[in-house]
Amino acid sequence: MLASRITLPEGLLPDRVSCIISNQLAPDFALLEAEETTTAAMVDKRRREFVHGRCCARQALANLGYPDCPVPVGEDRAPVWPDRVVGSISHCDGTATAVAAHIENACSLGIDLERCEALDAALMPMICRREELARLDGDERERLLGKLIFSAKESLFKCIWPEVRRFVDFQEVEIRLNLEDNSYTARPHAADLPAGLFEQVQGRIGQTGGLWVTAAFRS
């Protein structure tokens, strides 16, 4: 289905997780009926992103033994995966990715793609908590790493969504990057976000084609 695939950054996810990253959609790919109904009000750019993401998701599911399985949109706007399967989808600048796993191998997953570029200075205090800003202070890569923290939070939010089922603000979570082993950890800063849940999450960092790729995995 995919005309062009990108090599998965090494160590991003365990082997038991199916992950697809693509920078070109095959011209013959078509949405299934359950997916098509969601796109009626989408502008062309959003529809292209949606189609590319679903193509990756369907390939990831095929790798798990679910060929031609639709991934519709639920009432909460999140992708609906087959029973006993978890997954996540992201897209950025013509690249799309999806991850999926049997629930016996992962309780939840999150993935995110973002440009490897500096975060807007005005957004730094909105995305990063004071502890994160203090750790970045004086680093010449401060705003670039700010963008990485943004991506890490996005992948984390997708991973914890099945448990928390609410919007989580950027200021409610603290990310600690470990660039030596391409990982990150997360700590909650809200009373209703359980620390035990965050301790179960393994965060990973990668780069491909000028993009950050962050992933969160909970076993």
Q: In this predicted model, what pLDDT tens digit does every residue of 66-113 receive, in sequence order?
A: 999 999 998 888 999 999 999 999 999 999 999 999 999 999 999 999
User: What are the residue ranges spanned by the domains of the chain?
Assistant: 2-111, 116-206
Using pLDDT thresholds of 50, 70 and 90, give the confidence band for residue 209.
confident
Query: What are 25's two structure tokens?
Result: 């959609």
User: Class assignment of domain 2-111?
Assistant: alpha beta
Q: Which residues, in sequence order, are CB contacts of 135 under 8 Å at separation 6+?
A: 176
Q: In this predicted model, what pLDDT tens digit does every residue of 111-134 receive, in sequence order?
A: 999 999 999 999 999 999 999 999
Strand order through the sheet with 201-208: 108-115, 211-218, 201-208, 183-188, 173-178
Q: Which residues, in sequence order, are CB contacts of 183 under 8 Å at separation 6+?
A: 202, 203, 204, 205
User: Which segments of the chain does DSSP mark as H helices, in order?
Assistant: 33-36, 44-63, 124-127, 130-136, 142-164, 195-199
Query: What are 176's two structure tokens?
Result: 């600690």
User: Model's pTM, two decimal places?
Assistant: 0.94
Residue type, 157: F
